[in-house]
Amino acid sequence: MTNPTITTEAPAAVARTWTCVLFDLDGTLTDSAPGITSSLVRMFETLGLPIPTPSELVEYVGPPLLDSLQAMAGFDEAGARAALTVYRADYAANGAFDSAVFPGVRGLLQRLQAAGIPLAVATSKPETQATRILEHFELAQYFDVIAGATDDESRSAKADVVADALRRLGELGVALDHTVMVGDRAYDVEGAGEHGIPTILVEWGYGSPAEAAGAIAVVHSADQLSTLLLG
């Protein structure tokens, strides 16, 4: 996210005790664009199609990929599913761990866990892959629930993933009355908003300044985010 308007003072809606925090994965917890975009390049090469520009490739990071392949690459649904199969095979083998945990994120998760705040991941990435990545980077231990898309894409929209995360948290007895989402794209704001959940956007992700519309705050560091989440 480049040069957004940053909320420097927490609005009243932020300065509260949160009972639960949902986190997006790509662009929020991990800088995963290198692995995603390199696998996309190899997918387009395998299919004999023109390779999008670097800026166009980054646009694929975050939203459900099946939708993006149709909206941005012009595939019909059958073609998008075939392309997705090629992409996922390459990503699982070559791209999944070509990423890094953003600075300060691990310490933030440790502080939230120590404060007794239940945490969940809600990502449009397939849940099996998200779990594998979080375990690889030793972040899975901080989350009560890891919710993501199904492998068959029957659940991939952000609102549906958030709904699944909330359902599973509720089954664990987590209080959901003051839940907040942390993400980096408009899809996070919109998906959480469908459930009446406010969103804090992180500046270090892949969104544009315009995507901050509707967020209750935009933060530029993990320390600033920690202040908004812990008070």
Q: What is the DSSP letter of 126?
A: E
Cβ neighbours of 150 (radius 10 Å)? 14
Annotated active-site residue in 24, 31, 160, 188: 24
Q: What are phi and psi of 62, to 5 degrees?
A: 125, -65
Residues 6+ apart with CB under 8 A from 69: 75, 79, 80, 83, 84
In one-letter notation, the amino acid at residue 69 is L
67 included as an active-site residue: no
- 31-64 burial string, b = 16+ CB within 10 Å, else e? bbbebbbbbbbbbbeeeeeeebeeeebbbbbbbb
Residues designated catalytic:
24
